[in-house]
Structure 1
Amino acid sequence: MTIAERIMARRSSAGSVRFGVCKAMTVALLLSAPLGLHANVETPDVYEPVAPTIDQARANILIARQLQFTHFRDLGISDELSGDVFDAYLDYLDGQRIYLSQDDIAKFDKIRTQLGSALKTGQLQPGFDIYNLVQQRIIERLQFALETIDKGIDTLDFSANESILVDRSKADWESNAKALDDLWVKRIKNAVLAQRLNGAEDEAIVETLRRRYEGQLKRAYQARSEDAFQAYMNAFTGMWDPHTSYFSPRTSENFNINMSLSLEGIGAVLQSDNEYTKVVRLVPGGPASKQGQLEPADRIVSVAQEDEKPVNVIGWRLDEVVDLIRGPRNSTVTLEVIPANASDETITETIAIKRDEVKLEEQSASKDTIRLERGGKEYTIGVITIPTFYADFQAMQAGDPNYKSTTRDVRNLIAELEADGVDGLVMDLRNNGGGALHEANDLVGLFIDKGPTVQIRNANNDVQVLNDEDPSVAYDGPLVVLTNRMSASASEIFAGAIQDYGRGLVVGSQTFGKGTVQAVRPLNHGQLKITQSKFYRVSGGSTQHKGVIPDIEIPSRIDKTRIGEDALDHALPWDQIEAVPHTRYFDFSGIIDELRKRHEERFSTNPEFSLLQQEIDFLTKQRATDSVSLNLEERRAEHEQIERTRLTIANARRELKGQTPFESLEDLEDWQDQQAADLNSTDEELDFVIREGGHIMADMLDLDNRMASILDPQQFAAQSPAAAVTR
């Protein structure tokens, strides 16, 4: 009997059903205290296949109904969808195509077209059969890896002209087990080479690799029915859109803790990404954000507590990684991550983060000023930074008249800046992932008279329009809004409204493109997070997928091919509905070309912009690398070139600030560790993107003065950006 036949023949003796799929988009917010620790479990000799339960079958039927009848996207469960679910499921279980062979895939040819009808009726067994076979293959591969290491890494040949693909997600499946053996020898050689080049001795390399593979092997043997069900359901729900996902009872518990804002930990949002746990975003004001080394799209390899050995978490369930990273305040957790810009998966860095409470005041809006000169006139530019759209709901419900919120705080900051005599205002929404929708609505209202701010369309094509009902205006002067790829959701609503009203200019890079609204619905077993509506700008265009395109673009280090709505599989498309009547305060078309010209002239001569472009070029080249050499000498030359470039860029930045250059990359890394250990250290200097926002504002004001000197007052008021928004 084959493994697949044995798996299919097995049934639970406790009433499990003979039933029969992602990317698991489940997100966890690492803030709360630990829910539990991991017990040391003996690794069994034989893998025990998992089987579906009656509760899971019932939940599957409920999920299928919700998706078909209440999701924003009208998508039926068809044979075509069945094949897509099959492919998505395999992508989740073996995304790098390192466990299954073509021979294995052939075993499931008939299942490929049957998953859809099975999922309608709660027949889960086909999905579990696939899961069990993959787990068996994972065990076989890891056992092979351990056997290869036991033979001695000194027997591996690093002189041949060999290479290995960095990303195998689009590669063909290897033909059979023998071809997979050859691939895994290359993977081991790649891992050994990377650690040797980082200065590790062979004995330490063997210990590290053995610990890694043994940890993954242990997790494979400990597979649970719920693991298979969650992966299967997320492959299924992910067909509708990437933000629709199934939460297991355990994941639901984590989600509910997140929503209650028990804010103690490192402050990071994570999700499953094939075998890895990937950083989605950092919580403003949280320890990880303040520490500064962890970045979106980094993938976590291992986790270490204080004075303990690292625990390899490749292949772990998301909720277990969350438990391991959580911990009490003032304790330190050390993460080994594959940086988002790494050329291959063997390049890692270690990041120590002191856990702490995320304080509301550290997410609050803050202000600063910039003084710039144009044409012999000095301008004072106000800057307001908004890390998130927040509101203290408990204080609000308790009737506290002084409760904190984004809009209240910004109104106060504007008043303080106007008292200082600012000539213009820059709103910094970079890295603002959104938050309370009503705060975005109210914030727009600080800059316009009464009017619509955003449209929301549901699956029935019913459109709700949110309005600013308050005719008062907190600020009527010229405005610039800074955005980047991590500006999402509520940030996009605000930036889009300011752009549509002609109330100000949007400067920076294209935003994330998260223009959908989700609701969490209870099931008999876990919860379903489902997309039920979309956001649309007052001009009619959706913020979904496309985001907000800036009027003046500033390049960013963030890789748009990896981060953003349009980088996600099955994301809902951009579309548009009818615009709603709204005021147009100013048409910038008459001055935008001159503003862009001045910006580009500064860009071409500003050493900070030049350095940014140099770093972007370096990162782009690294990301474009599709394979790495397994020849020791070639690899060493590549490694040394990368280290030289990193050090050159870091020292160039230090020289711009008048600081002493680092003598070596080790000095740079030691300095980064020291900075990370001090959560109270802050960079008081405004970064150059904010300063460029100030320069663009000064250009607007300068153009105002020039126009005022040659036009009569009435003609000037009709054409001037500053006068047009001044009531």
Structure 2
Amino acid sequence: MVKKLHFFLFLNIFLLSFSFTIQAQTRFCKRVAAVQNIVERSHYQPKPLTDSLSSSVFKLFIKNLDPDAEFFTQENYSIFKEDRFQLDDNIKNHDCDFIEKYNVELLKQIFFVKNFLNDFNTEKFQYNNAEKITLNPEAVPFSIENNIALKEYWRKKIKKEILDEIVEQDTILSSIQKNFNRLEKEIKPKIIAKNLCLLNEISLKDGNVKEFAKNSFLNALLKYQDPHSSFFSNSEKVGFERSISSNQESFGFSTEKNDSGEIVVRYISPGSPAFKHADFEVNDIIKSLESNGDVLKTYCVSDEDIQDFTRAEDHKTILFTLKKKNGRIQQVKLTRTLQKVEENSITGFIVEKDKKFGYIKLPSFYTDLESPNGLGVANDVAKQLYKLQQENIEGLILDLRFNGGGAMKEATDLSGMFINKGPLSILKYNNGETFTIKDANRGSLFTKPMVVLVNHFSASASEFFSAAMQDYNRALIVGTPTHGKASAQVILPLDETDQDLGFVKLTVEKFYRSTGRSHQGIGVQPDILLPSLYDGLKTSEKFQDFALKADSAKITLKPRPLPTIPIQHLKRLSEERVANNKGFHLLKQTNKNLVKAYFDTSEEILTPIENYNRTQEYKDLWKPYTNFKNEFKTNFTTKNTNSTTEVLSYSPDYKTMNEQVIEEISSEIYIEEAYNILTDYINLQNH
């Protein structure tokens, strides 16, 4: 009776809370209209408001709201389905009432799941029945029939997570069987509590479910145009700008969530406000944040919520309430200051055996958004190259693996440092007009042989640079095919006079190689291919919904490449080494086993613990390669330049970080093979 009363009381509050005010409704409509106007005016290839848009946006919207298909049922679909071919008309008619049903249904489903998760705490789970649990199910929307089936789905999900944790803690079957009841009793409430926390995160996302649903719709509307267009709130805009900026206002720390749902200080940047305050330490638990009357309690919130709060324009000074390792509660007040974005900084290293080469890893094509000259990664590379050339290096390895791109100007400036002059790329706008990007400066900063390392996650500006180096025969491109993103985006406000309305990151142009060819959806193909753990996975641009298609552009200025590199000979030498390299052999085998076991299977397993060894199988798949990698050391030595060594002598913290980077370089089979390829290249030139 009490539970029923609680439910009806909640339902009344719930329905009242979802009564739209005219102001909120008008604001959402204003955003929808502004997004559609900007798309029609500025997108590279805007799609018309038709039933096709409506059905596609509907699917994307549901996916955004319920990405793992674990809330909405076929009963919810019966409520939503009328919008499938109606959303285009809603947009045309400025009718935004449709959003209300999604707010109501999502919160209702979250509450329903939270309710029976609490009931699971007192329910005795059975583990001896031959119960099937599907591995890696595709997240198919509305695949669950009704709320009865939804409850059963979540019961299996919780049981699977409990079994995963048990097998994670004890891999010996006889020991697991002996201690199963004790382990299950300890782990079950923690798993349930963790899932309840995650549900709270969803219900509080973007402030509340209302904002979450609205932003999910705006993103669906933009993602239908192409995968890289999206809606940004103010804090999301700041976060994106940080990812491509060399300097940003920051408190200088990062966080992670522990198994108890608490936010823990994971890392503190040397020299930052957090670093300078003696009472702000790694492993502190952040209990709350307070600024200008706003308070964020941190239990069951996400790292994203912490970032949003600390990035807010009016949260320049924040009072942090911390729980120290000894249990003491401490309050610390910090003020944001302009900091070098640590992830976006580079150092040149020397890698040396028979020959001495420079090695530079580029994390992104970051820039200085505050500077009129936009000095960023190209300027930093120039400084490191100067230091490296003082050491008389014979060649250079530029590492662009996992570099997702950034500022196109930086890619242009960096490319110009390695060629004499000429066209680098061709831009094409939505009206069909083209513009050739040129390196107008005669001469090169560095003329010795180069290898550029790339992988499946090298994208956008990384591909711009790699393609230019390849088209000019300026460098050997080594690794795997790149991501295949050949489009450029800009950030635009939805309303110039009301920036609180939000922003869009919009695709406004495509770029092409100086030869007129496109790598859109194809990627830059390496001159020398190396195996990867990601081979066979659908990670590239061409697998994304609504990706732009490859075409070509008219050439107005032909590039004048350097003499052809003897790629076939160098490729043959590399292939012989890779075939006889234990690390690459184990890597290929690991990739093959992982793809087969986890990405190409619809296998089902049983819940009796003697049959539930999936976690151990997963560990066993990784073990041979992991053991090799932990013990592997390159055949060259890695060290700092004399200039860097002098700087490090004044900073013990940076010295520790530097030592870790050197250790990483010294255990990399890819960098070793890049070193060997560059050595072969120089030896060929000398004969």
**Could you say whether these structures have the same fold, taking a TM-score greater than 0.5 normalized by the shorter chain as the test?**
yes
Pairing partner for 1:110 from 64, 74, 82? 82
Matched with 2:218 is 233
Matched, 1:587 2:564: yes
Q: Against the structure 1 CA distance between its residues 460 and 304, is the aligned structure 2 distance closer, same or farther, given a 3 Å change threshold?
A: farther
Rounded Cα–Cα distance in structure 1 between residues aligned with 2:320 and 2:593: 36
Rounded Cα–Cα distance in structure 1 between residues aligned with 2:322 and 2:626: 26
Pairing partner for 1:187 from 111, 134, 157? 157
* 8 Å CA contact retained: 2:485, 2:519: yes
Report matched runs for 1:557-576 at 5 Å.
557-558=533-534, 561=537, 563-576=539-552
Matched with 2:249 is 262
For structure 2, the 5+ residue unaligned runs are: 1-9, 170-181, 257-266, 272-281, 288-296, 325-335, 496-500, 635-655
Rounded Cα–Cα distance in structure 2 between residues aligned with 1:85 and 1:651: 46
SS in 1 for 2:56: helix
Matched with 1:11 is none
Rounded Cα–Cα distance in structure 2 between residues aligned with 1:612 and 1:464: 43
SS in 2 for 1:488: coil
SS in 2 for 1:600: helix
Matched with 2:425 is 454
* 8 Å CA contact retained: 1:286, 1:357: no
Paired AA for residue 568 in structure 1: Q
Paired AA for residue 173 in structure 1: S
* 8 Å CA contact retained: 1:267, 1:286: no
Matched with 2:470 is 499
Pairing partner for 1:691 from 657, 668, 672? 672
Matched with 1:548 is 524
Report matched runs for 1:507-656 at 5 Å.
507-524=478-495, 525-558=501-534, 561=537, 563-579=539-555, 580-588=557-565, 591-624=566-599, 625-627=601-603, 629-656=605-632
Rounded Cα–Cα distance in structure 2 between residues aligned with 1:361 and 1:143: 43
* 8 Å CA contact retained: 2:485, 2:541: yes
Rounded Cα–Cα distance in structure 2 between residues aligned with 1:503 and 1:231: 44
Which range moves more in the overlay, 492-501 or 693-702? 693-702
SS in 2 for 1:653: helix
Report matched runs for 1:387-536 at 5 Å.
387-392=363-368, 405-524=376-495, 525-536=501-512
Length-normalised TM-score, structure 2: 0.75
Matched, 1:139 2:111: yes
Matched with 1:386 is 362
SS in 2 for 1:601: helix
SS in 1 for 2:660: coil
Q: What is the CA distance between 1:499 and its match in structure 2? A: 0.6
Matched with 1:212 is 194
Which range moves more in the overlay, 75-84 or 464-473? 464-473
Q: Against the structure 1 CA distance between its residues 247 and 419, is the aligned structure 2 distance closer, same or farther, given a 3 Å change threshold?
A: closer
Paired AA for residue 466 in structure 2: A
SS in 2 for 1:474: coil
Q: What is the CA distance between 1:175 and its match in structure 2? A: 2.4
* 8 Å CA contact retained: 1:50, 1:224: no
Rounded Cα–Cα distance in structure 1 between residues aligned with 2:283 and 2:611: 29
Matched with 1:682 is 660
Rounded Cα–Cα distance in structure 1 between residues aligned with 2:186 and 2:249: 39
Rounded Cα–Cα distance in structure 1 between residues aligned with 2:549 and 2:424: 21
Matched, 1:245 2:230: yes
Rounded Cα–Cα distance in structure 1 between residues aligned with 2:123 and 2:429: 61
Q: What is the CA distance between 1:416 and its match in structure 2? A: 4.7
The C-alpha deviation readout for 1:427-475, integer Å capped at 9, x for no partner, is: 2222333333222212222222221112222111221222111112222
Q: What is the CA distance between 1:639 and its match in structure 2? A: 2.6
Q: What is the CA distance between 1:418 and its match in structure 2? A: 4.4
Q: What is the CA distance between 1:423 and its match in structure 2? A: 3.4
* 8 Å CA contact retained: 2:238, 2:311: no
Q: Against the structure 1 CA distance between its residues 639 and 58, is the aligned structure 2 distance closer, same or farther, given a 3 Å change threshold?
A: closer
Matched with 1:661 is none
Pairing partner for 1:49 from 14, 18, 23? 18
Matched, 1:306 2:285: yes
Q: Against the structure 1 CA distance between its residues 416 and 320, is the aligned structure 2 distance closer, same or farther, given a 3 Å change threshold?
A: closer
Matched with 1:273 is none
Matched with 2:648 is none
SS in 2 for 1:453: strand
Q: Using the aligned pairs only, state the percent identity.
A: 27
Q: Against the structure 1 CA distance between its residues 554 and 582, is the aligned structure 2 distance closer, same or farther, given a 3 Å change threshold?
A: same
Q: What is the CA distance between 1:113 and its match in structure 2? A: 0.9
Matched with 1:79 is 51
Report matched runs for 1:5-24 at 5 Å.
none
Rounded Cα–Cα distance in structure 2 between residues aligned with 1:82 and 1:618: 40
Which range moves more in the overlay, 515-524 or 617-626? 617-626
Paired AA for residue 191 in structure 2: L
Q: What is the CA distance between 1:70 and its match in structure 2? A: 1.9
SS in 1 for 2:153: helix
Q: Against the structure 1 CA distance between its residues 557 and 304, is the aligned structure 2 distance closer, same or farther, given a 3 Å change threshold?
A: farther
* 8 Å CA contact retained: 2:71, 2:106: yes
Rounded Cα–Cα distance in structure 2 between residues aligned with 1:382 and 1:217: 49
Q: Against the structure 1 CA distance between its residues 633 and 124, is the aligned structure 2 distance closer, same or farther, given a 3 Å change threshold?
A: same
Rounded Cα–Cα distance in structure 2 between residues aligned with 1:582 and 1:643: 50
Rounded Cα–Cα distance in structure 2 between residues aligned with 1:573 and 1:333: 52
Matched with 1:367 is 348
Rounded Cα–Cα distance in structure 1 between residues aligned with 2:298 and 2:543: 32
Rounded Cα–Cα distance in structure 2 between residues aligned with 1:319 and 1:368: 37
Q: What is the CA distance between 1:250 and its match in structure 2? A: 5.6
Rounded Cα–Cα distance in structure 1 between residues aligned with 2:629 and 2:140: 37
* 8 Å CA contact retained: 2:401, 2:455: yes
* 8 Å CA contact retained: 1:457, 1:534: yes
Pairing partner for 2:145 from 171, 175, 179? 175
* 8 Å CA contact retained: 1:451, 1:468: yes
Q: Against the structure 1 CA distance between its residues 158 and 442, is the aligned structure 2 distance closer, same or farther, given a 3 Å change threshold?
A: same
SS in 2 for 1:150: coil
Matched with 2:34 is 62
The C-alpha deviation readout for 1:243-285, integer Å capped at 9, x for no partner, is: 212224564566677767224455799xxxxxxxxxxxxx9x9
For structure 1, the 5+ residue unaligned runs are: 1-41, 270-282, 288-302, 335-354, 373-377, 398-402, 659-677, 707-727
Matched, 1:120 2:97: no
